[in-house]
Amino acid sequence: MSRSPLPYNPKILELFRNPKNLGKMEDATVSAVAGNPLCGDMIIFYLKISNQDVIEKASFESYGCVANIATSSIVTEMIKEMKLEDAWKISWKSVIEAVGGVPRVKFHCGILAVGALKRATRTYYKDKGVSPDWLPEELTFEEKQALEEEELAKIISKRMKAEEEK
């Protein structure tokens, strides 16, 4: 069985080759991780947030594939100068649309990117000790998916370790 390369569009390839806002932000107000390097995709989002809850800067670090880097990059561009409440409304589907689409097997990259953004938002408000009315108590789809992927990676890691010890 041979594997053929995934059909990425020119916009995805450009964002992969020249990602926007790549790198650790030293003066970030908050950061959040989604994914797990054991399964191949991990994102760290950094946000600089004003006193008015506006995202002044966003950056990311990515340990993953073409789609992981491209979707993370586009999210950081989409949320610049947005109020956190508005950024919260971004869905993984809008991220996939913004990059011009990805193969179905890579939808999880958009889900992880939005999951990291939502985790950062929750962390920001938790650290402030407040919960705005618009922030749901229940985790969103993207947050749940990120958790499931992380739990799966832990299970796989344990199984691999057990096999190595045999």
State how far the Cα of 101 lies from the Cα of 144, in Å rounded to an integer: 22
pLDDT digits (tens, 9 = 90+) for 68-89: 999 999 999 999 999 999 999 9
Beta bridge partners of 55: 49
pLDDT for position 1? 47
In a domain, 4, yes or no: no
Place 155 in a pLDDT band, splitting at 50, 70 and 90: confident
Residue identified by tokens 């009315």 is 133
In a domain, 65, yes or no: yes
DSSP H stretches of helix in 82-106: 84-88, 92-98
In a domain, 15, yes or no: yes
Look at the chain and count its residues: 166
In a domain, 5, yes or no: no
In a domain, 3, yes or no: no
In a domain, 78, yes or no: yes
Domain that holds residue 147: 10-165
Tokens of 159: 């199984």
Give the count of domains, the chain.
1
Residue identified by tokens 């990425």 is 8
Question: Which range is most confident: 4-13, 35-44, 88-97?
Answer: 88-97
pLDDT digits (tens, 9 = 90+) for 115-148: 999 999 999 999 999 999 999 999 998 888 888 8
Domain containing 137 — which CATH number? 3.90.1010.10
